[in-house]
Structure formats: structure tokens, C-alpha cells
């Protein structure tokens, strides 16, 4: 120690009790951390081992197939048309307002409400509150449940909404969870919940005005799932329209054009069905209609290649046999030219729907 060190030590003096206490506390903390280090490593090791076991206990196809099936069934990642501001429906269709409905924690649905064309002048400059109050104006209401892919601004959906609006209907175009700008992840149970919540929200504001569930393609499965739950609650839907329905998703998926080419691949069919079961994707229209009492109208195009006409006919047969009041079930087949998405172009669509519903609601 040199002279400067000695002088510094003399100036500082010996450490006091407080300094001794701080040093002791510091060494005690170090000791505890060193003692817990092996335990922390052991816990981390067990977690890593559990994750490895979870991954290796399943085959690669079990990791890949369920997410792949979800993509193929819902196709919600394809959010066309692109560059559309869903908050501004007036840029796509007149007398329409956008709003959001919270159906459960973490799930907010985007919805477009289009009022009947006869109220176009009244709707100019009005806010959401006016649109909501208009639901009880006596004009019938349709909750539109679309098919897979795209969102509520898809061109063929807008064409249908315009036809229905011109025919005197309110239309609520719903994007399920995970579609469009709606939050959440699509599942069969989730989509069913979405439809039920929107229907109940609408009924609570419609007074005595009837509300119809209209499902197209995938939406037919959502509609009958929801209708069955409403039936079990003792408040059946006022009416149901199924456009291009299938019997159940298992049958419809196997015959889906995109998947037909893989049907002869060894093991594909079994793996595919296992994935559907794992993700609980059924949408059993053929079972649901057996429990319904609501007026049921089935619409199908003769040249529909996505969901062949035979499925619609089979579903009608099941429903007609199950319904006590046979007059409550009807099927209308449209001539070639409209395929899967364009029944809205048929000049007889609107009159067909209005005639059926007016008779049922009279």
C-alpha cells in the first residue's frame, strides 16, 4: 500500500455497522441465487422435455393437417377484395352503415347494416343509432351468413344484398370471427356463437318484425347450427333460407373440387377425416334439420359444381320427412347459369323468397 492509499484509508476510517450489514445482505442474496440455480435449470429442463415429448408424440401429419384443414374449410386468410375500407361501406353500397358487435371477450364482429332501398332518402346522413332504431320499422330482416373466403364486401355478396334491399329487406352482413376485420379465430363452435349472438341482438331491437337467418354454402352449416341452438332455447328462428347447402362438412369436403385430386393418395382420406374430427368440424345440416320447426327454404342452382345439387336435394328430403308441418319446408331449383355464387342474378330469386316468407309469416 503506498502513501496515497494509506492516507485515503485514514481519511475514510474503518467501516461502520451499516456497511457490514449491506455486505452481509449482498452475500446472502448471492448465496440464495446460487443455491436456486440448479433448481431453475431443472425446471427449465423439464419444460423443454415436456414440449419435446408433446411434439414427438404426434406424427408430422398430425402437426400439419389440422391447421391445413382449417385453412381449406374457412379460407379466411384470403381477405379479398383487397384495399377495401370496411369501415366505409358507403363506398361500396348505399344506405349502409358499418358497426361492430362484441360477442364474447376478444371477439368483435364487423357487420354492415343495409336498410331497404325504399328508405334510402331517410338514411342519408344518419348515424348508427338511426339504423339500429330502423330495425323495428316493419320491413323484414335478414341476417346474412356468408360462405368461406373473402369478406362482407365480396362482389357476389354485395349483389345479393342489393337485390334483397331493393326487395324491401334489411340485411345484416356478418363477418364471422377471423374474417374481414373481425377479431378471433374461426372454429365451428365460434361461428355458431357469432350467428346466435347477432340473431339475438337483432331480435332484441326488431320488435315484432321477423328476422330470417340466411346462410350460403359454409354459412348454411352456421345457420342450421345456430337455428338448432335457438330451437333448444325455446325461441326458434323466424325463418331460415339455405342457399347452396350441403348435408355435412365431411361429405362436402371430400367432394370439394380442390381436394378431389388427392382422394386416391394412400391414407389421405383417413388422415383428412381424422383432422376434421380433431378440429370438431362437422356442420351437420342433415342432423340439424331434424330438430327444426322454423320455416325452411332451400335454394340450389342446377349447375352448382362447388356444392352439387344432389346435396341440396338430399337435405330437403331429410327435412321434409322430419318436419311435422310439411308446408314449412320448400326447395327451389334454379336453372343452369348461376352456378354456386350467382343465384342473386336470377330474376326469380326475390319473388321466390318473398312469396315463401310472406306465406309463412301471414
Distance CA 36, CA 16 (A): 31
Is there a catalytic annotation at residue 63?
Answer: no
Q: Which of 261, 191, 200 is nearest to 220 (CA)?
A: 191
Angle, alpha carbons 173-309-262 (nearest 5°):
90
169, 144 contact by CB (below 8 A):
no
At a CB cut-off of 8 Å and minimum separation 6, what does 126 contact? Answer: 97
Record the cell numbers describing residue 105, joined without a space. 371477450
152, 86 contact by CB (below 8 A):
yes
* Marked catalytic residue, from 217, 253, 294, 346: 217
Is there a catalytic annotation at residue 304?
Answer: yes
* Marked catalytic residue, from 216, 300, 304, 346: 304
Distance CA 120, CA 129 (A): 16
Distance CA 194, CA 52 (A): 36
Is there a catalytic annotation at residue 217?
Answer: yes
* Marked catalytic residue, from 165, 175, 340, 346: 340
Active site residue ranges: 217, 304, 340
Amino acid at each position: 500500500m503506498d502513501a496515497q492509499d494509506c492516507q485515503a484509508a485514514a481519511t475514510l476510517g474503518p467501516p461502520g455497522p451499516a456497511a457490514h450489514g449491506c455486505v452481509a445482505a449482498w452475500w446472502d442474496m448471492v448465496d440464495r441465487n446460487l443455491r436456486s440455480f440448479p433448481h431453475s435449470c431443472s425446471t427449465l429442463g423439464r419444460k423443454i422435455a415436456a414440449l419435446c415429448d408433446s411434439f414427438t408424440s404426434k406424427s408430422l401429419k398430425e402437426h400439419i393437417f389440422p391447421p391445413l384443414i382449417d385453412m381449406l374449410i374457412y379460407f379466411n386468410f384470403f381477405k379479398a377484395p383487397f384495399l377495401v375500407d370496411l369501415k366505409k361501406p358507403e363506398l361500396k353500397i348505399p344506405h349502409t352503415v358499418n358497426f361492430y358487435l362484441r360477442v364474447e371477450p376478444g371477439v368483435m364482429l364487423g357487420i354492415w347494416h343495409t336498410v331497404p332501398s325504399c328508405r334510402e332518402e331517410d338514411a342519408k346522413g344518419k348515424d348508427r343509432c338511426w339504423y339500429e332504431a330502423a330495425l323495428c320499422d316493419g320491413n323484414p330482416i335478414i341476417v346474412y351468413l356468408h360462405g368461406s373466403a373473402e369478406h362482407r364486401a365480396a362482389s357476389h355478396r354485395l349483389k345479393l344484398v342489393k337485390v334483397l334491399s331493393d326487395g324491401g329487406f334489411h340485411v345484416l352482413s356478418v363477418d364471422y370471427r377471423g374474417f374481414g376485420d373481425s377479431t378471433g379465430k374461426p372454429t365451428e363452435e365460434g361461428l355458431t356463437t357469432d350467428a346466435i349472438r347477432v340473431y339475438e341482438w337483432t331480435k332484441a331491437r326488431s320488435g315484432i318484425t321477423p328476422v330470417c337467418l340466411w346462410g350460403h354454402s359454409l354459412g348454411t352449416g352456421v345457420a342450421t347450427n345456430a337455428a338448432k341452438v335457438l330451437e333448444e332455447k325455446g325461441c326458434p328462428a323466424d325463418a331460415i333460407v339455405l342457399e347452396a347447402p350441403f348435408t355435412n362438412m365431411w361429405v362436402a369436403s371430400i367432394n370439394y373440387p380442390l381436394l378431389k385430386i388427392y382422394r386416391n393418395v394412400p391414407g389421405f382420406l383417413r388422415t383428412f377425416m381424422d383432422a376434421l374430427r380433431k378440429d370438431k368440424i362437422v356442420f351437420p345440416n342433415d342432423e340439424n334439420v331434424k330438430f327444426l320447426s322454423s320455416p325452411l327454404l332451400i335454394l340450389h342452382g342446377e349447375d352448382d359444381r362447388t356444392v352439387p345439387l344432389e346435396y341440396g336435394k338430399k337435405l330437403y328430403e331429410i327435412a321434409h320427412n322430419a318436419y311435422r308441418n310439411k308446408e314449412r319446408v320448400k326447395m327451389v331449383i334454379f336453372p343452369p347459369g348461376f352456378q354456386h355464387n350467382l343465384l342473386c342474378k336470377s330474376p326469380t330469386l326475390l319473388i321466390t323468397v318473398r312469396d315463401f316468407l310472406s306465406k309463412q309469416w301471414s
